[in-house]
Amino acid sequence: MPNKKANITEVVLRDGQQSLIATRMKTSDMLPVLKLLDKVGYSSLEVWGGATYDCCLRYLNENPWDRLKVFKKHIKKTKLQMLLRGKNLVGYKEYDDSVISLFIKNAVKEGINIFRIFDSLNDINNIKSSIEYVNREGENSQGTICYTTSPVHNEKYWITLAKNIEDIGAKSLAIKDMAGLLRPNVGFELIKKLKKNLKIPIYLHTHSTTGLADATNLKAYEAGVDNIDTSISSFSNLYAHTATESFISMIYKDSDNPFDMKLLTKIAEYFQSIRPKYIQYEGSMRGVDINMLLYQVPGGMLSILEKQLVDLKKQDRLKDLIDEIPKIREDVGYVPLVTPSSQIVGAQALMNVLDNERYKTLNKEFIDLVNGKYGKIPGKVNKKLLNKIDKNILDESNENFTIDSYKKDFSEFCKSNDLKDFSNKETDLLNYILFPKESKEYYLSLNKHTWNDVVGLQEGFGLFIE
């Protein structure tokens, strides 16, 4: 029988909705339940980062920093957590340390306490600076291993990587099992050995895609893992995660349960009531897909790829696409499939399938991945693929842009469009640095209202929950 309250991170506001409805949940639909979530006693709420930042600007016409302000205003007791892609931050390219530092400083200022920092290739050089800057701000720098299986990934690999993450200063460690590949007994043994080798707390994040998550989470708890990620039942399973109420029921009897199940039911009912609004973003998966143990496609990636095929009226090619992904992954040295490598491999797989020919068209990001621009690849790249890639391809990215360069460019854009100079505010400037095209469209849309009207609307959000 448990002798203390389990540490549970609720992910419905970030990864739960990202996995099931393509990250389309609006802030206004989150507001009515924030105070209830704050009462549960979670160790943290994952609320930001991942694809939420991008989707706020790209699809929802929302400022992601305003969303974070809303969370901070209405969640008083529970720590706020975000997912950060190391040098990629919440974008899809590598950013200078000055940008990384500025982003983390502002995220802490606006309420983030725990930064789950990962690199898609498990290259610790890509997460080191983020860990350093989070530590400087006095918050929890959570270094992450992106779990996968392949001929080059074994228990020794994971323990060595975890120890290296601790040695560069991480305050906690996360096992991020984005495709639900961690088998219960393997997880039990791995966590036991990690607990013996590390001094920092260990968090587990796994997905339900393969049907293993419930058993894996339970075995991890028995092995002494310090924290488990779950999602409220009405946004759980399928591409997402173990249901919060189910996990609690696994480890507690009714007589010793420290969680208020009636409160959790109320939260679940609320999310159940809004889910139909987003039905167009739901994937076709029903039950579990054990084939993901072979394909290793993360839930969020699969739902997005499926949506792209539907938009192209090529949904009949979904199986071909899923079959192609592990072939490409082997060709590029068994990279783990998680943002941005999952998007890069997924986009290349889509090109291969639509072209009906492998590598006829090569996207720039895929070339950069193969050439090591995203970090050290864990295995060996297929020689035939290497021969297809021109290593002298021109790099047209803005990597040499300084913050001042971005600020000047953004300021000129604002002036030429009769906008107030948003470049003077660091969070607005960060929007522009990370997503220039989407930010331009967003700030132009504000021209339809006065800025005071927009602020007034944001403050009015509080009315929904009183």
The residues, ordered by sequence, that sit 6+ positions from 100 with a Cβ below 8 Å of its Cβ are 87, 89, 129, 130, 133
3-state helix, strand, coil in the chain (%, to 5): 55, 10, 35
Tell me how far the alpha carbon of residue 132 is from its chain's centroid. 20
How many Å apart are CA 5 and CA 184, to the nearest integer? 22
Asked which of 114-128, 207-221, 398-412 is least confident by mean pLDDT, the reply is 398-412
Bridge partners, 83 (sequence order): 49, 116
pLDDT(303) > 90: no
What is residue 299's predicted lDDT score, i.e. its pLDDT? 57
347-368 pLDDT tens trace: 999 999 999 999 999 988 999 9
What is residue 454's predicted lDDT score, i.e. its pLDDT? 39
Would you state the structure tokens that stand for residue 114, as one six-digit string?
């725990």
How many Å apart are CA 52 and CA 257, to the nearest integer? 33
How many Å apart are CA 464 and CA 154, to the nearest integer? 49
The CATH fold of domain 8-281: TIM Barrel (3.20.20)
- What is the SS3 assignment for 285-325? CCCCCCCHHHHCCCHHHHHHHHHHHHHCCCHHHHHHHHHHH
Average pLDDT (235-256) is 96
What is residue 448's predicted lDDT score, i.e. its pLDDT? 63
State percent of the chain over pLDDT 90. Answer: 77
State percent of the chain over pLDDT 70. Answer: 91
What is residue 343's predicted lDDT score, i.e. its pLDDT? 85
Higher pLDDT, 303 or 405: 405
In 59-110, which residue ranges form alpha helices assigned H by DSSP? 64-74, 97-109
Domain ranges in the chain are 8-281, 403-465
400 falls in which pLDDT band (50, 70, 90)? low
5 falls in which pLDDT band (50, 70, 90)? confident
What is residue 223's predicted lDDT score, i.e. its pLDDT? 97
C-alpha torsion sign, points 154, 160, 162, 168:
negative
What is residue 465's predicted lDDT score, i.e. its pLDDT? 27
37-71 pLDDT tens trace: 999 999 999 999 999 999 999 999 999 999 999 99
What is residue 466's predicted lDDT score, i.e. its pLDDT? 25
Higher pLDDT, 416 or 298: 416
Q: Is 46 helix (H, G, I), strand (E, B) or coil?
A: strand
**Kind plus residue range of the DSSP H or E element containing 380:** none
pTM: 0.89
Total residue length of the chain? 466
340 falls in which pLDDT band (50, 70, 90)? confident
What is residue 462's predicted lDDT score, i.e. its pLDDT? 31
Torsions phi, psi of 193, nearest 5? -75, -35
Contact, 229 vs 194, CB < 8 A?
no
Please state whether the peptide bond connecting residue 336 to the residue before it is cis, i.e. omega within 30 degrees of 0.
no
**Kind plus residue range of the DSSP H or E element containing 191:** helix 184-197
Would you state the structure tokens that stand for residue 378, as one six-digit string?
């864990």
**Kind plus residue range of the DSSP H or E element containing 85:** none
pLDDT(456) > 80: no
How many Å apart are CA 88 and CA 95, to the nearest integer? 6
Whose CA is closest to 462, among 73, 109, 110? 73
Transcribe 387-452 into DSSP letters: HHS-TT----S-TT--HHHHHHHHHHHHHHTT---GGGSHHHHHHHHH-HHHHHHHHHHGGGS-HH
146-175 pLDDT tens trace: 999 999 999 999 999 999 999 999 999 999
DSSP classification of residue 48: E
DSSP classification of residue 134: H
Asked which of 23-37, 373-387, 416-430 is least confident by mean pLDDT, the reply is 373-387
